[in-house]
Amino acid sequence: MTGRKDSAPSPATSARANRQRLASEEGARAMAEIGQQAAAVRKNMERLRALREARDAQEQRASAHVLEKPARKARRLRRT
C-alpha cells in the first residue's frame, strides 16, 4: 500500500484551498479598511489640533489687548 499520487486534488483539499483563499482575501480587505480608518482618524486629529491652536492663539491675542485698570492710589486723609 503506497500513497496516492493523483494529479487531481481531492474535494477536501480543494475546499480547504478555497477557504484559505477566501480568508486571505477577507483579511486583505479588513487590513485596507483599518488603514483607511486610521488615516481618517489622523486627518481629523490634525484638523482638530489646528482649530485648537487657532483658538488658543486668538485667546492669547485677546488677553494681550485687554487693558488692565491701573491700581488706585490710596487716598490721603486730610487732617484739619
Q: Is residue 75 part of a domain?
A: no
What are the DSSP E strand ranges found in 1-80?
none
Q: Is residue 35 part of a domain?
A: yes
C-alpha–C-alpha distance, residues 24 and 16, integer Å? 12
What residues make up the domain containing 26? Answer: 19-65
Count CB neighbours of 70 within 10 A.
6
Q: Is residue 6 part of a domain?
A: no
Q: Is residue 72 part of a domain?
A: no
- Tell me, what's the pLDDT at 79? 72
Q: Are 50 and 42 in contact (CB under 8 A)?
A: no
- Tell me, what's the pLDDT at 16? 96
Number of domains, the chain: 1
C-alpha–C-alpha distance, residues 21 and 19, integer Å? 5
- Tell me, what's the pLDDT at 1? 46
Question: What is the per-residue pLDDT across 13-46, written as a single tens digit (0 to 9) for each?
Answer: 999 999 999 999 999 999 999 999 999 999 999 9
- Tell me, what's the pLDDT at 65? 72
Count CB neighbours of 45 within 10 A.
10
